[in-house]
Amino acid sequence: MFDLDQFIADCRAALVADHSHKLVHEVVARAVSDPAGVLRQLGEPKRAQLQKLYHASDLTILNVIWAPTMTIMPHDHRMWAVIGLYTGREDNIFWRRIKGDPSGRVEATGARALSVRDAEPLGHNIIHSVTNPLPRLTGAIHVYGGDFFAAERSEWDPESLREERFDAERAVRRFEEANANGHWAE
Ligand SMILES: [Fe+2]
């Protein structure tokens, strides 16, 4: 049975044993292998949000609820991440920098559709954009091997694909804007 305090303790222990995402990946995979258990503990998604479950300088755990059909522009993390889906779907597009481009533009290199029970590790240098293709809320546990909110990193304008500075507060606001524009939030 998924228990949030135990999950956080397991992630911390995994990180101490191995600073890569390897053991944390196993912890997340185990958690989302019982999506009903995660839903019972975290609650049925009701509104789009980046909910902090745990936040430290070396580890951040978020409950990410994507609004129906919401898309977030390409961004990097500059730390590893593990994404575990417990309801809905996350479609990821992966990008890479165009060599020598003066505005730091990116080009798409691949895609991965994440379904319930999937736990996907993302490397330190990954650039991805995420879409929830469903007409309902999607819920995922995102674990980051660092301070998700403080790290200096980039996002890319969805139209020009030019590099800009990532702003964590603006990212949180986008979830609130999605709620304001939608009809699913309480
Ligand atoms: Fe991301």
Give the tens place of pLDDT for each residue, 91-126: 999 999 999 999 999 999 999 999 999 999 999 999
pLDDT value at 154 more than 90: yes
Distance 129 CA to ligand 1 centre (A): 7
pLDDT of residue 63: 97
pLDDT value at 185 more than 70: no
The encoded tokens of residue 33 equal 């292998």
Distance 98 CA to ligand 1 centre (A): 19
Round to whole Å and give the CA distance between 155 and 78: 11
Nearest-Å Rg of the Cα atoms of the chain is 16
Tell me the C-alpha to C-alpha distance, in Å, between residue 122 and each of 98, 102, 160, 178: 20, 26, 24, 25
For Cα atoms 99, 101, 103, give the angle at the middle one, nearest 5 degrees. 140
pLDDT of residue 182: 84
Distance 76 CA to ligand 1 centre (A): 6
With bands split at pLDDT 50, 70 and 90, how would you rate the model's confidence at 1? confident
Q: What is the pTM of this model?
A: 0.94
Distance 128 CA to ligand 1 centre (A): 6
With bands split at pLDDT 50, 70 and 90, how would you rate the model's confidence at 75? very high
Distance 10 CA to ligand 1 centre (A): 22
